Amino acid sequence: MKIEELKERFLELYGLNEEKIHIYFAPGRVNLIGEHTDYNGGYVFPCALTFGTYLLVRKNGTIKVNFATTNFDHRVEVMLNEPFTRDGKSWANYPLGIMNELRKRALETEGIDLLYSGDIPNGAGLSSSASIEMVTITALNDLFGFGLDKMEMVKLGQKAENEFVGVNCGIMDQFASGMGEANHALFLNCETLDYKKVPVILNGIKIVISNTNKRRGLADSKYNERRSQCEAAVEKINKKEPIRNLGELSVKEFSYLSDSITDETVKRRAKHVVTENDRTLKAIAALNNGDIEEFGKLMNASHDSLRDDYEVTGKELDILVNEARKIPGTIGSRMTGAGFGGCTVSLVKEDSIEEFIREVGNNYENKTGLIPEFYIAEPGDGAKKIGVL
């Protein structure tokens, strides 16, 4: 939806007043490699996308905050003189969580009207939730002069999702949405939050995101179960050698310590994390050396580990990846995000993209009965103000 159309919708909802309407944007993200490593203190390599969530916001001179979105009919009103409480499973819990975290820091807003509009497919695993969180904190920080820096806003976004929404996510999604830069991916150490912006130079190659169109709910998926299995692995290893998290271990160290994990399922979960961390380091080295073929092989190995050791792919994602790999112009393909549906990310030669979309789309539909969607992605900027109307 274009900005002028959003302005019209905003005025339909809230009418005119003397205050200016401010416009903000925060992107979704795709993770190129490094999956389920973020909450294990490991490495990830996401980039912000050029699509995400737009927010129009205006002070309204009351003690009421009004939430609306073009994506759903459900609207929410809250009073600033009352506690913030979860609204069932509403989309509004994400911005409400942000306001709740600000309130804990004695950072209060005035009454405002908000209209969100997202062009990230809901449930696709491209971080629409982090995009909503980061566009909200960016807007409120700017509008009310809270003086938070980008890193503080990223941490606040994660905390809101963990404690208010109830999803035990790592920091990668908010980090990519908040800190992204066009034509770059972010090499992030999730334990220390040290990061580098790495140029993504893909001569003649495009990032293609393929959506299974199988809906998945992160909060009620097996995400939290995987987290607890990783924590169980750390607990067992600690009896032999003290570690804080699996991200500390090299492949060699894990092979030495893994016999302390007696549960074979837990051992496979830990194996994925340790080997995925190693693959991420190798993939970034390959990209820096201009070796895109090696990067693609590591993407393939990442998916296979997520399928076999971490078991978070499922039929639809596996079929999309298998069909993608049959196309000669595909450099590499893997699931991205939490799994159990959502999207894959593939590196595809430009002259093969039409064939990729046609063949992968037809074969996937024939095998699943679902119609996939494809997006040609470009690494974009992080959360920012667009302007004033």
Cβ count within 10 A of residue 346: 29
Tokens of 214: 């199988």
Q: Is 309 a catalytic residue?
A: no
Tokens of 146: 């809270």
171, 158 Cβ separation under 8 angstroms = yes
Distance CA 196, CA 206 (A): 22
Cβ count within 10 A of residue 76: 17
Three-class DSSP labels, the chain? CCHHHHHHHHHHHHCCCCCCCEEEEEEEEEECCCCCCHHHCCEECEEEEEEEEEEEEEECCCCEEEEEECCCCCCEEEECCCCCCCCCCCCCHHHHHHHHHHHHCCCCCCCEEEEEEECCCCCCCCCHHHHHHHHHHHHHHHHHCCCCCHHHHHHHHHHHHHHHHCCCCCCHHHHHHHHCCCCEEEEEECCCCCEEEEECCCCCEEEEEEECCCCCCCCCCCHHHHHHHHHHHHHHHCCCCCCCCHHHCCHHHHHHHHHHCCCHHHHHHHHHHHHHHHHHHHHHHHHHCCCHHHHHHHHHHHHHHHHHCCCCCCHHHHHHHHHHHCCCCEEEEEEECCCCCCEEEEEEEHHHHHHHHHHHHHHHHHHHCCCCEEEEECCCCCCEEEEEC
Please tell me which residue in 38, 113, 173, 381 is annotated as part of the active site.
173
Pick from 128, 210, 205, 121: nearest CA to 165: 128
296, 207 Cβ separation under 8 angstroms = no
Residues with catalytic function = 173
